[in-house]
Amino acid sequence: MWQLACQGNIAHVVLMPNVIVEKIDHFLDELVQKRATWFQEGKLQPTCIGSNVGEENCICAL
């Protein structure tokens, strides 16, 4: 299980100096797999964070 630093609709990954690339890859693999489950069949859509990060940096459909 992973813990993320959340603020509003954004979650930050905080890495310690001892975290190796393989650990980050494992986290990202799990995240991609879970997102595919959460947003399958188009029933749910990711929350737009354009107002937080700038619309040019948001990849949502809104």
Confidence category of residue 61, pLDDT binned at 50, 70, 90:
low
pLDDT band at 62 (very low <50, low <70, confident <90, very high): low
User: Using CB atoms within 10 A of its CB, is residue 46 exposed (0-12), middle (13-18) or buried (19+)?
Assistant: middle
Question: What's the pLDDT score for residue 57?
Answer: 85
Residue type, 14: V
Residue 6 DSSP SS3: strand
Contact 30, 37 (CB under 8 A): no
Q: Which structure tokens are listed for 24?
A: 């980050």
pLDDT digits 0-9 by tens, 5-60: 988 888 888 888 999 999 999 999 998 898 888 888 777 777 888 888 888 888 77
Q: What is the pTM of this model?
A: 0.66
Q: Where are the domains of the chain?
A: 5-57
